[in-house]
Structure formats: C-alpha cells, structure tokens
Amino acid sequence: MDSLPTAIAGLKTWKLALIAFIAGVLSVLAMAPFHLWPVLFLTFPLMIWVLDAVALREDAATRLEDYLNRLKSAALLGWAFGFGYFLAGIYWIGFAFYVDAQRYAVLMPFAVAGLCAALGLFYAVAGGLAAAMWRRGYARIIGFVFAFFCVEAARGYFFTGFPWNLFGQALAADDAPMQMAAYIGIYGLTLAALFIFSAPAAFIAAPGARFDRLRVPALVAALTLAAFYAVGVQRLQQSVGDVPGVRIRIVQPNIPQQEKWKPENRRWIFERALQLSRSGTSGEDIAAFTHVIWPESSVPVLFAFNDQIYSDEVRDALSALIPDGTSLIIGAERAEGSREPDGRPRFDRAFNSLFLLGKGAEIRAVYDKIHLVPFGEYVPFRDVLMKAGFSAFSHRLDGFEAGLGPARPIETPQAAPFLPLICYEIIFPGRTGNLPERPKWLVNITNDAWFGQSTGPYQHLHLARIRAVEEGLPVVRVANTGISAVIDPFGRILNKIDLGKAGTIDHSLPHALPITCYQKTRMQSFIALFFFTLQFYLAMVALAKVR
C-alpha cells in the first residue's frame, strides 16, 4: 500500500486533478439521501495523497517560483475536488431552468457548471492553504483538516452564504452522532468529520517520509466517532412530551411549479389547499386544530397589498375557512405601493412573506423573508444586470425585496411563539442566538417544487433536522411538493409526507428542550475549535522537527 502515494506522485497534474474531481463526486454519497458516510474514509485520504504529489516535491520550496507553483497546483487540485463535489451535490439546481424552459433551458448547463466552478474556488483556497501548511508527518493531515475547516466555515457566510452539504452533515447521518450538534454545532461536526475521515491517510506513508505511518491518530479518530455515538445514544434516552392543547395540520398541496402561476390554474390550486385544510386526509374537521400551515407561495395570486388582503374572493374564502380558536399560517406574496387615479394598484416593492391569520382572515402578523436566493428571488446589481437581460427565476422577474431582520418570534393565541423561516433560511445555523426571546418551535415553509424528484429536497430536510438539534427546538416543515415533516428537538422525524404527494399531517407539537450548549457558546466554541486545531497543527510540526 505504501506504493500508492508514490504512484500518485508520479502522475501529471491533469491526472491528479481528475482523481481529485472523482473524489469530490464520490464524497456526495455521504450526504442525504444516500448517507453512505464511510465513503469519506476513501475520498479524504485520496485528496491528501493527491496533495502530497505537489506539496512534498523535494524542490518545491527552493525558490519562490517553485513555492508559488506548488500553491497553484494545490489550488487547482482543491478546485477540481470542489467542482466535482458541487456538481454532483447540487446538480438539481438545473431543474429550475426547465420550469420556464422556453426562456431558460438553454442556459442551464452553463449556469450550473458556472455556479459549481465558482463554489469550487472555496476549495481552491483550501488546497492552496493546505499546501502552504504542508509538512512531512501527520502535520500535513492536520494542515488539510484546518484549511478545509476554515473554508467550510467561510462559505457559510461569504457572498450571502451557502452552507449546503457541509462535511459535518455526513456525521449527522444517524440520529446518535447528530446529537453532537447540540454541543458543537454543524461547524464542530464538520471539523470532527474532516479529522475522523482523514485519519486513514496516516496508515500509508507519503513519498519519501520516515515518520508518516502513525497508528495513534487513527485510534483517536475511532475513539472520537465511538464517543459521538455514545453521547448521542445517551442523549436520546430523554423523553419529550407534547405541548398540551396544541394540534397542527400541515397542508402539502403538491402543485407542480410549471402550473402554479398560470391564470387558468389559480382557482383549483387555491381550492385544493382549502379542501385539504377543511378535512385533511384523515377526515377530521379543521376546528380540531389550533394551527393549520400552508407552504411557501401557497396562494397563487398576490395575497396582500399595503397590509390588506388584496382579493375580496380570497379574503372571503379564508374567512369562511378559519374557525374561532384556529390560526392559519401561510406563505404568500405581498406588495407595497400606491393607487393610480383609476384605482388600479401600482406596485413599488414585493416581498416573499409568511402570514399569521386569525378568525375572519384577520392578518395578525407578517414576516418578510430576509435571506433571499440570488437570481432565484432577486437579481444582484439589479439595475445593471436587468438591462443586460438577466431576471429572477420567480414569476416576478424583477425579484423580491428583502425583509428587515433579524426574524423575530411570532406569537399565536394558542401556543408559545414560533420563529418563521422561509425556504433555505433553515440552512443557516444560529438563527435564535441573538434574539431577546427564545422561540419554542420553528416553522419552516418552503417550495422545493423547483427541483423536482431530485436529491435537493432530501438534503434540505436533513438540514432542518440538524437545525432542530442545534436549537433544541421542534421544527414544523411545510413544503409544497414535499418533504413535509414534524421533527422533534432531537432531529427525529415524527411524521412526514413523502416527495411528490398531496396530503396532510395531523400532529401534536413536541415540547422544546432547554437551551443547548451550542446556542449558549456558539461563537466562543467556534473560535475555540479554530485555535485548538491550529495549535494541534503547530504541535505536530514541532514534534516532526524533534524526531
């Protein structure tokens, strides 16, 4: 086996990049819906040996030019890994281009490849940083872990942030290790995943190395993984009861995105949501429920204009639907503007919003989505790019405006406050950390119909489960085409409607857990993990020098 890194080291750069690309593609198997996380025991060491090929060249640092070439080659290998990882992991973004195929289909391969290539630049930075830190011995593996940990954290925040398929999600594949998110969060799990899955690289020496074959790191990685399972199993022994007197009905209408905004379809789409709400798939009357929840953009017309329900017909239908003692939570579009002299509305701004309605269809609370999807819901540098022909994928081609943040808990008469999160706002950790009042549950309304029967909705659901564990809060997830679910604060799915099915879920609301360790020490724990890993790397470098 020691000949493997030597053989890899003799390959040309383009062949090394191809290996890195394949490693990136295979790594996606560790994510939802596959959860084949042991594959990372192969792909991470493979990336380390590929980086060995350029970072351990004997003449790599004799001159500045050689050193820079080493960094460039390592950055190229990191980019190839990232390009393969994102291409296989978020290919489903391309499905959105076929919703309006006449306008966008021709752009799909260029846009998806371009986005994945751009996201791959994060891993190019990781490759270059790792090469700068590369030393013979186990220090090179810690350097790899540190570099990729920093970049994984960075992509969750830079350029609006995209913490999708972080490596820590592989460790959260099973309920037991997922519980560690309550202590160290998704970024702590990501650091642990990088360390655990890279450890097998220590069993095979790098080319020309004398002290690379170390058994202790692999033993530590195995003990860490075992400890995660043990802590998780113990935590799952706790019982969670239900909030007394609270019953929730989730409505999943399953409307194809291509049909949603066609004028001739508006009536039957709206009537399907009304019918499912009245009696559900169980036949139980709506009056038995304290909360009925519809998904994002569930009303296929403009819902509110200047804080009033825009259509008299919609208002009357909802007024007849909502009984006393029931709240209706819906996702819909609202606009602000003024009236023309003839009474017609003039829209100045539009928002992707969540509404809380009470008896008589009274609007009791409104939340405007804060974290919009670039090009999906808004066009960056709108004035310039729209002149060049760019538009948002939404039916509102000029896009939506972002709401004023942060999101605040919404009070309902029948239950404790909930925090509204629309669509991919659920993928960002730490949403309740800075709030003056802690909510008791999370409501995530979404419309994954854009992405069809793909891996995207499963990945989205898995992220919602991790948020539940981090926050110690139940999550009620309501999707247009699936996957809708009631998730307890341990991240376990209590009930769900599968992808591509219409129906309802009638369920009680689980209690919240006490505030988690992660929420108490969110930023402090992240900084501690950062410096711990850096100090560990420096210790390994010093140990190698002593030897």
Is residue 346 classed as helix, strand or coil in its secondary structure?
strand
Other CB atoms within 10 Å distance of the CB of residue 80? 27
377-383: long-range contacts (C-beta < 8 A, 24 or more apart)? Answer: 377/352, 378/402
DSSP 423-492: GGGGGSS-TTTT-SS--SEEEEEE-GGGG-SSSHHHHHHHHHHHHHHHHT--EEEEESSS-EEEE-TTS-
**Cβ–Cβ < 8 Å for 526, 185:** yes
Q: Which residues contact 74 (CB under 8 A, 6 or more apart)?
A: 51, 54, 55, 127, 128, 130, 131, 134
Amino acid at 161: G
Is residue 323 classed as helix, strand or coil in its secondary structure?
coil
Please identify every residue annotated as catalytic: 296, 369, 423
In the numeric block, which tokens belong to residue 454? 């793909």
Q: Which residues contact 15 (CB under 8 A, 6 or more apart)?
A: none
Q: Which residues contact 474 (CB under 8 A, 6 or more apart)?
A: 441, 442, 468, 486, 487, 488, 489, 509, 510, 511, 512
In the numeric block, which tokens belong to residue 25? 């593609």
In the numeric block, which tokens belong to residue 299? 């009303």
Return the axis-axis angle of helices 181-198 and 216-235, rounded to nearest 10°.
Answer: 150
Q: How far apart are CA 17 and CA 80, in angstroms?
A: 6
Is residue 505 classed as helix, strand or coil in its secondary structure?
strand
